[in-house]
Amino acid sequence: MTDTTPGNATPHRAWRWLALAWLALLLALAVQQALQWRQQAPIDTDILALLPQDATDRLLSDVTRQIADANSRDVVVLLGGADSDAVLEAQAVFARAMASDADAALLQPAGALDGWFDEARAFYAPYRDRLLTPSQRERLRTGNADAFAQQALAQLYGPMGGPRLTGWLQDPLSLWPSWWQQQAKAAGLRLGGDGLLQADDRHWAVLRFDTRDSAFQLDGEPHIGALLDRAGVAASAVAPGLEILHAGVPLHAEAAAVQANREINTIGWGSLAAVLLLVWLAFRSLRPIALVAMSLLVGCGVALAVTVLVFGSVHLLTLVFGASLVGVAEDYGIHWFASRQAAPRANRWSLLRHLLPGLWLALLTSALAYLALAITPFPGLRQMALFSVVGLAAAFITVILWFPWLDGGTIRQTRFSHWLGGTLQRWPRLQGRALWLVVGGLLLVSAGGMLRLHVDDDLRSLQSSPPALMQQQIRISRLLGMPSPAQFFLVQGRDAATLLQREEALTARLRALEGEGRIGSHRALSDWLPSPARQAEDARLVAGVEAQALQAVSAASGETLLRPAFATAPLELSAFLASPASVPFRPLFIGALGEGMASVVLVDDLSRPEALADLENAASSLPGVRWVDRTADFSRLLGHYRTLMSALLLAGIGLVFAAVWWRYRRQAWRVIVPTLLAGTLTMGLLALLGQPLQLFNVLALMLLLGMGIDYGIFLLEHRGDPSAWVAVCVGAASTWLSFGLLGLSDTPALRAFGLTLLLGIGLVWLLSPLFRPAPLPEERLEERKDIA
Amino acid sequence: MNVFHPLRLLALSALLALSPAAVAAPHSDTRATLQSITRDVARPDVLRGTFVQEKQVAGFRNPLRSEGRFVVARGRGVVWTTLKPFPSEMVVTAERILSRQADGRSRVELDAREQPALRSVNATLFALMSGDVAALSSRFDVDARREGEAWTLSLTPKSPALAKAFSALQLRGDRYVREVEIVETGNDRTRIRFDALSATPATLSAEEAGRFD
């Protein structure tokens, strides 16, 4: 502001350079962004991207990420029907329809399990004697040698021969097929002979697909969903009454993108249209509309560019939240035009000088309020904070550097502004008993509401997937026994042997719980790769029992039978991981970690009420085993920050009051009381509406403090000035509208934000004039105008 | 994934309770032959008989020979009782596969609740007995020859899963199936001869019914 030469009504040369520098910077940013977006839209849809990268537990974040990434491209389709032949035909038609579709490239069929089974069987064959299920081990340990011999003979002479995966001599007791059978069952592969899954009295065909890279598009169209729907229609045609279920991360991502696209359009364009309409009503000419729109576009554009530069990508929810910025960043432009309208003859450069302190202050308070969001460790909120602060600053800079150059003509007086300015005088002013009655009444309503307040720190407030998709996902998880990626056991050991042994101690406990029906089955590396100690033990056990059985068969058949040789060394982790047999289980292995290595054990079906407590107990007192519940961790974290931010909000109120007191002394209450009343009333009303209190409500109240206080300051600063009131009204109306539109969001967190500010801003706007001071005498008002 | 066991049983059981009407053949002359076989083969509710089985198993110099008797009951399943060289029994029903040892102890080898495939196997099996053409032709390629009363059917598995267990099956018979030969993928061979076949009485005795439980 010192760049303008006082007294002289022309700009300082530096101001001209700054305006040009700003233009150059914008052009550079635009070029850089155009290049980046052309390569690939840096847009993030992953809900995990919003969760904190906890510095104290970086490990858990990485593990969660690894589990989530393992199936981030999978799409699963289930086709269910009562008649298995119809389902098989529907499956064939579905697959053909997918392959011949114009969008077929979006989803490729994933590898079939058949091939994997053959490879895995060949890989494990030399180690067959080292692999036993717990029940087989128990039977071989306690069983009677004669019974095994008889069993071997019965299978040799019997007509059915028993199930075989090898020659009889390689596995005389048929241990190998029942090992596979149990493994398949535990892995949720309960397939019938026709390859169909049988559950819920239906036959289900399971189709798996992979998305190809960068299939994701932000054009608001559900390409993958539409592709699946078309194939579903074709399949239903051959199998009437076919039930079709879809699940997979890409579908959630696409649903989020479609939803975000719709919300960004509603909020962004809706707010922009409303702001421009208000500007049109107030100023009735094209130039203010064009310039305000320009300041908003520059603000949003720079916000997007800087966010992408800083974070590497921008999250969809940031864009949705950022769309509400339109209703806040318009303030600077409107202040400019309102002042110009109030003093049409004033020199533009003197006017700017007069306006600058107020604008700086407004930017500072709003920016501080937004920055409070960044105190939380949630990257999503930090992105939103950065986006908003940068957007506000860019709009502000555009106004102060460019508007004096571009806004050349005069600003016309309009009937609307005149009328709006006049409403202030008719607005009641509270004094004496009326004041106390109103304040007391409003506090009473708030208190009544707040008695019904309940808190909710559920992580799902960030989740916005359509309920239908969530239900299908849950149903498929149950049918296929898919484990939750956010809840798992983390097992650590200094080497592979220790790690696998620790897993075995854990899975023994889990099997007991499974036997009691308290949890579903589990997925553990050690089920497919036993520890060396266990392998050696089982090989010894099997060798003893089989040698005896072969002896008995030799005696009965009169032949000399020799037990074939098996691998002499145990199956090692490195060999297992390198083989195709481990493909489905590699995500369970975390790899080197600290001094040793780590793996995870996943559990299916946590639907029973005590399941989580059971699992936590299962890990207790086992060395190197830890139960991790990321959902609970994040909910705890949300709760922790809700409390912390509430305390900060109170501190902020104290700070603001001190600042206001320093300037206005005994009038300070007029500034702060409307915002505080609006805040408490908002919380009370939300509670009455049954809305739970979340971190996001508290953060919204923080923003309310930052923005609402401005209205009070403005009314106190410009006592009875109608043009100030016009600026407040237009600004508040557009802010109010933007957050109102944000309140329509399908993401619970953003809706909480929007609703809180919708109520809060509306109330401050209504309440602030009630507490305004008596207007200044007429001549002093005139005096003020002359300054301009 | 564990499709071998039930399918193998299906094949065997299907053969014992043969109903060649189920076979749809690609060539018209084969189809005519099949139709004539279908017409002439008896379809009793209960069939009893004795068997002699010879198995050629890898690692054994001589064939393994066993003898015994069997009962096949429509809608129930199969009881296969081996008497020589040592007694044992195998019972196949829609619910489970059960083995009984000489000392009377029994063991469930396969339970339909754990392997739903067993249910569909038995459904197919009984569909076969009632002459459902679609069921067998969906699993096997069939070739038929006939000379007078005697006929021969050669079955080749269609599905890769089934082909992993069997490379070929052959049936010989007249009014009843008289001989079955199974060649497994590992080249083990089983030949079963049936004798003393009888369809009367047409209901199970209490003793026979008890064996199915």
Q: Identity (one letter) of the amino acid at A393? A: A
Percent share of chain A, pLDDT over 90: 22
Q: How do residues A721-737 score in pLDDT, each as one tens digit? A: 788 888 888 888 988 98
pLDDT-wise least confident of A445-449, A552-556, A616-620, B160-164: B160-164
Mutate to test the interface with B, among A148, A183, A194 (most CBs of B within 10 A): A194
φ and ψ at residue B90, rounded to 5 degrees: -125, 130
CB contact under 8 A, A193 and B188: no
pLDDT-wise least confident of A156-160, A332-336, A474-478, A617-621: A156-160
Q: What counts of helices (H) and strands (E) characterise chain A?
A: 30, 12
**Interface residue A135 vs chain B (CB under 8 A):** no
Q: Which residue in this structure is represented by tokens 């139709």?
A: B35
Q: What counts of helices (H) and strands (E) characterise chain B?
A: 6, 11
Nearest-CA residue of chain A relative to B10?
A160
Domain that holds residue A688: 253-455+634-787
- Going from N- to C-terminal start, the domains of chain B cover 4-212
| Angstrom distance (rounded) from CA A388 to CA A233 | 44
Q: At what angle do helices A145-157 and A532-557 cross, to 10 degrees?
A: 60
Q: CB neighbours (10 Å) of residue A450? A: 17
A-chain CB neighbours of B163 within 8 Å are none
- Cβ contact B197:B44 at 8 Å: no
- Assess if residue A407 is contained within a domain: yes
| Angstrom distance (rounded) from CA A506 to CA A668 | 64
Q: What is the pLDDT of residue B14?
A: 38
**Interface residue A182 vs chain B (CB under 8 A):** no
Nearest alpha-carbon partner for A745 in A753, A733, A757, A734:
A753
Is the bond leading into B26 cis (omega within 30 degrees of zero)? no
CB contact under 8 A, B7 and A168: no
Indicate if the pLDDT at residue A785 is higher than 60.
no
B-chain CB neighbours of A87 within 8 Å are none
DSSP A541-583: HHHHHHHHHHHHHHHHHT----PPP--SSPPPHHHHHHSGGGG
- Assess if residue A696 is contained within a domain: yes
pLDDT-wise least confident of A59-63, B23-27, B60-64: B23-27
* Mean predicted lDDT score pLDDT of chain B: 72
B:50-79 residues touching chain A, CB 8 A cutoff = 51, 53, 55, 57-62, 64, 66
Q: Identity (one letter) of the amino acid at A581? A: A
- Read off the pLDDT of each residue in A151-171 and give the average, rounded to a whole number: 74
ipTM for this model:
0.75
| Angstrom distance (rounded) from CA A464 to CA A146 | 62
Q: For residue A333, give both structure tokens.
A: 């432009």
CATH code for position A642: 1.20.1640.10
Q: How do residues A352-368 score in pLDDT, each as one tens digit? A: 888 887 788 778 878 88
Q: What is the pLDDT of residue A121?
A: 85
* Mean predicted lDDT score pLDDT of chain A: 83
- Read off the pLDDT of each residue in B125-149 and give the average, rounded to a whole number: 61
Nearest-CA residue of chain A relative to B121?
A193
- Assess if residue A435 is contained within a domain: yes
Q: How do residues A412-437 score in pLDDT, each as one tens digit? A: 888 888 888 888 888 888 887 888 88
CB contact under 8 A, B85 and A157: yes
CB contact under 8 A, A147 and B101: yes
- Assess if residue A59 is contained within a domain: no
Percent share of chain A, pLDDT over 70: 90
- Assess if residue A707 is contained within a domain: yes
B:13-42 residues touching chain A, CB 8 A cutoff = none
> Which pTM was predicted?
0.71
Q: How do residues A66-89 score in pLDDT, each as one tens digit? A: 777 777 788 889 998 888 788 889
Q: How do residues A24-59 score in pLDDT, each as one tens digit? A: 999 999 998 888 888 777 777 776 666 676 645 677
Indicate if the pLDDT at residue B28 is higher than 80.
no
Q: How many domains is chain A partitioned into structurally?
A: 1
- Read off the pLDDT of each residue in B184-203 and give the average, rounded to a whole number: 84
**Interface residue A467 vs chain B (CB under 8 A):** no
Which stretch of DSSP H or E encloses residue B97?
Answer: strand B96-100
Alpha helices (runs of H) in A101-206, residue ranges in sequence order:
113-124, 134-142, 145-157, 175-186
**Interface residue A189 vs chain B (CB under 8 A):** yes
- Cβ contact A71:A39 at 8 Å: no
Q: For residue A767, give both structure tokens.
A: 């309440």
In which band, very low, low, confident or very high, does the pLDDT at A321 lie, cut at 50, 70 and 90?
Answer: confident
- Cβ contact A339:A415 at 8 Å: no
- Assess if residue A162 is contained within a domain: no
The domain made up of B4-212 has a fold known as outer membrane lipoprotein receptor (LolB), chain A (2.50.20)
Strand A107-109 vs strand A522-523: parallel, antiparallel, or unpaired? Answer: unpaired
CB contact under 8 A, B62 and A559: yes
CA-based nearest distance A157→chain B, Å: 6
Indicate if the pLDDT at residue A396 is higher than 60.
yes
Q: What is the pLDDT of residue A187?
A: 65
Secondary structure string (H, E, C) spanning A19-78 = HHHHHHHHHHHHHHHHHHHHHCCCEECCHHHHCCCCCCCHHHHHHHHHHHHHCCCEEEEE
- Cβ contact A361:A295 at 8 Å: no
- Read off the pLDDT of each residue in A601-613 and give the average, rounded to a whole number: 78
Strand partners, A58: none
Indicate if the pLDDT at residue B11 is higher than 50.
no
- Cβ contact A302:A29 at 8 Å: yes
Query: Which of A158, A165, A198 minimises the CB distance to B4?
Result: A165
- Assess if residue A360 is contained within a domain: yes
Q: Is the dihedral of CA A448, A449, A452, A453 positive or negative?
A: negative
Indicate if the pLDDT at residue B12 is higher than 60.
no
Q: How do residues A530-541 score in pLDDT, each as one tens digit? A: 999 999 999 999
B-chain CB neighbours of A514 within 8 Å are none
Give the residue with greater pLDDT, B33 vs A743: A743
In which band, very low, low, confident or very high, does the pLDDT at A634 lie, cut at 50, 70 and 90?
Answer: confident
Nearest alpha-carbon partner for B213 in B94, B74, B102, B112:
B94
Indicate if the pLDDT at residue A706 is higher than 80.
yes
- Assess if residue A367 is contained within a domain: yes
Q: What is the pLDDT of residue B21?
A: 37
Strand A202-211 vs strand A107-109: parallel, antiparallel, or unpaired? Answer: antiparallel
* β strands within B119-160, DSSP E: 140-147, 150-157
- Read off the pLDDT of each residue in A683-695 and give the average, rounded to a whole number: 89
Alpha helices (runs of H) in A175-221, residue ranges in sequence order:
175-186
CA-based nearest distance A237→chain B, Å: 22
B-chain CB neighbours of A200 within 8 Å are none
The conformational region for residue A174 under phi > 0 = left, psi -120 to 50 = alpha, else beta, is left
Which of A441-445, B32-36, B103-107 has maximum average pLDDT? Answer: A441-445
In which band, very low, low, confident or very high, does the pLDDT at A457 lie, cut at 50, 70 and 90?
Answer: confident
Strand B64-73 vs strand B77-84: parallel, antiparallel, or unpaired? Answer: antiparallel
